[in-house]
Amino acid sequence: MECDSLEEFEEQIRNQLDNGVVTSDGGAGADWMAGYDLEVIKVD
Query: What residue ranges do the domains of the chain occupy?
Result: 1-44
Strand partners, 28: 22
Q: Measured between alpha carbons, how far is 1 from 24 in angstroms, rounded to an integer? A: 26
pLDDT higher than 80, residue 44? yes
Question: Mean pLDDT over residues 5-32, rounded?
Answer: 82
20-39 pLDDT tens trace: 777 777 777 777 778 888 88
Query: Residue 30, Cα to own-chain centre: how many angstroms?
Result: 10
Helix (H, G, I), strand (E, B) or coil at 6: helix
Contact 18, 30 (CB under 8 A): yes
Residue 14 vs residue 8, higher pLDDT: 8
